[in-house]
Amino acid sequence: MGFWEKDLRVRITATLVLLVVIALGAALVISHVLVNRIIRANIEESMADSAELTRDLLGVALEHRRTRTELLVSTIERSLSLDPQVMLNTLTTFMEYWPIGEEAVILDAGGNVITGTNDLPEMGNATGTSWFDAALTSKLAFTYVYEDEELARLHLESASLAVTLPLVISGRQMYAVLFTSLTDIREAITSVHIKDTGHGFLVDARDVIIAGYLFTRAVKAPGKEQDEVQAISSKVVWGRSHTPSLKIDYGGTGYLVTYTTVAQSSAHDVKLDWAVGVIVPTNEAYAPARLVTWALLALTAVIIVCAIFAAVLLGLSITRPINELVAAAERIGSGDLTGDVIVRTRDQVGALAGAILRMRDYLRGTLGEAGYSADKMSMLAEEQSAATRDMFSNTEEIADSVVVLARNMEAQIQKIRKIMDSMIFTPGALPPELPPLEEIRELLQESEILAEVGGDKMVEIASASQDQRAAARDISAAARRLSEISLELKEMVRRFKVQT
């Protein structure tokens, strides 16, 4: 959690990747559902088309029988002969050159055999057989003959498809019946191939496979397997409609079954109760859907990889300038103003870089001005100290001069007083060039007054000197403090690294 909180690039990358994964996951699910439904619907529709195509192949075989039978009946009717031998010759000729033709017989309205190929005349009467009942409808009819008893009467070894059609000669109602093998039908059904192992099948009303196979090529599967096949066949027979689909599981494998009824012409009164269809393993039938799914997964993986790469690049593009700004801010905070602050973008990060750059330049300018002010303060302090020293020296000299002057004046007064005293006590002894006594007395009084005034002035000068000395000391102390402040300011400026 600490690493998640500290690294912005990880948060950006993880957030973007998470959003991309969520978006792609939703898109993948939607695409998978829609595409699979569309593809599966197309596959099932294609299977239905295959079933209908197989039914059309069977329809061609039935139409071939119908045409052959109608041609035979029209030939017999045009002969206008009721001679059984003439009819037999016509039947023999038609059946001899018809590969799927097995037997042919002509019956009267009572079911009695008039003539027939091979051993059919021995049958005598066909009343009660399924194919004669179909003939009584007086229309073209197809009858699937599969009962063992009927096959034995017809001397046939396998199931046959009977085609019945009424004919009339000289007003006599008769019925022509042609028995055909299922070879062509089975070949048509077995020729149907879907995908790799998909194939066609034909099932009758007894739930028995007529042509093709469902799950095994064996005619009869042993035991339980045969029961399962018959149960599935029953689903096909009883669930007939227009190309329905059925999904079943057999032997652990899923199958998709599509089937339809065998259509006949509207002229046919009796319909074959057959169902034709195709069966394909679901893993083959829905292979395109799986391919699309894998393609979507591969595309999703590629997009996720690209998203991760783009998220990493985006995170780097965001965090790289931020890291540079953090480093620049740390340098500025530590006092290093020599580093460059690079403005790489014009967005908010670029605006922040510009602000830090302006702050660095402002600090540089401020520190430069502070250094200059410190130098000026130092010079001013030195000048004040020198002026104070000069003033103090001058004051001392003036005071000394005043003291000397006062002493000289006092000495002069003493001399004058001595002269006065001498003149008072020995007036005749004074030389004649000296001024009169009154003048000397006045001079003495003036000198005393001058000495008194000079003493007062000297006191005033001394007091002023003392004041000036105190002021000089204060100025000197202020100059020293100013010098100390300038030194401290210079020391603070020296702590920063500034390009010169």
Confidence of residue 62 (pLDDT cuts 50, 70, 90): confident
Residue 266 phi, psi (nearest 5):
-65, -20
Amino acid at 213: Y
Residue 220 pLDDT exceeds 50: no
Domains of the chain: 1-317 (3.30.450.20), 349-495 (1.10.287.950)
Predicted pLDDT at 179 = 94
Q: Tell me the two tokens of residue 426.
A: 């020995």
Q: Over the range 419-457, which residues count as b (16 or more CB within 10 Å of their CB) and which as e?
A: beeebeeeeeeeeeeeeeeeebeebbeebeeebeebeee
Q: What is the DSSP string of 123-192?
A: G-B-TT-HHHHHHTTSS-EEEEE--HHHHHHTT-SS-EEEEEEEEEETTEEEEEEEEE-SHHHHHHHHT-
Mean pLDDT of 281-310: 81
Q: What does the mean pLDDT of the chain come to?
A: 76
Q: pTM of the predicted model, to two decimals?
A: 0.58
User: pLDDT at residue 38 above 50?
Assistant: yes
What does the alpha-carbon distance between residue 163 and residue 408 come to, in Å, rounded to a whole number?
A: 179
Q: Which of 221-235, 244-258, 269-283 has the lowest mean pLDDT?
A: 221-235
Is the Cβ–Cβ distance between 167 and 176 less than 8 Å?
A: yes
Q: How far is it, in rounded angstroms, from Cα 287 to Cα 495?
A: 77
| pLDDT tens digits for range 437-495 | 666 667 667 666 766 666 666 667 667 666 666 766 777 777 677 777 777 766 766 66
Q: Which single residue is written with the structure tokens 């340098």?
A: 331
The listed range with the strongest mean pLDDT (232-246, 300-314, 338-352) is 300-314
Please tell me the distance from the alpha carbon of residue 352 to that of residue 140, in angstroms, as a whole number: 97
Q: How many CB atoms lie within 10 A of CB 271?
A: 13
- Per-residue pLDDT, averaged over 40-54, amounts to 76
Better pLDDT: 321 or 479:
321
Q: Confidence band (pLDDT; 50, 70, 90) for 301?
A: confident
User: In this predicted model, what pLDDT tens digit does every residue of 412-438 receive, in sequence order?
Assistant: 677 776 766 766 665 555 555 555 666
What mean pLDDT comes out for the span 329-346? 76
Tell me what pLDDT residue 175 has. 93
Q: Which of 162, 177, 156 is nearest to 105 (CA)?
A: 177
Q: How far is CA 177 from CA 37, 108, 121, 137, 166, in A?
A: 50, 11, 13, 13, 9
pLDDT tens digit sequence for 172-195: 999 999 999 999 888 888 888 887
- Radius of gyration (C-alpha) of the chain in whole angstroms: 68
Instruction: Report the 10 Å Cβ neighbour count for 120.
Output: 22
- pLDDT at site 181: 92
pLDDT at 203: 82
Cβ atoms of 328 and 341 within 8 Å: the answer is yes
Cα(50)–Cα(283) distance, integer angstroms: 18
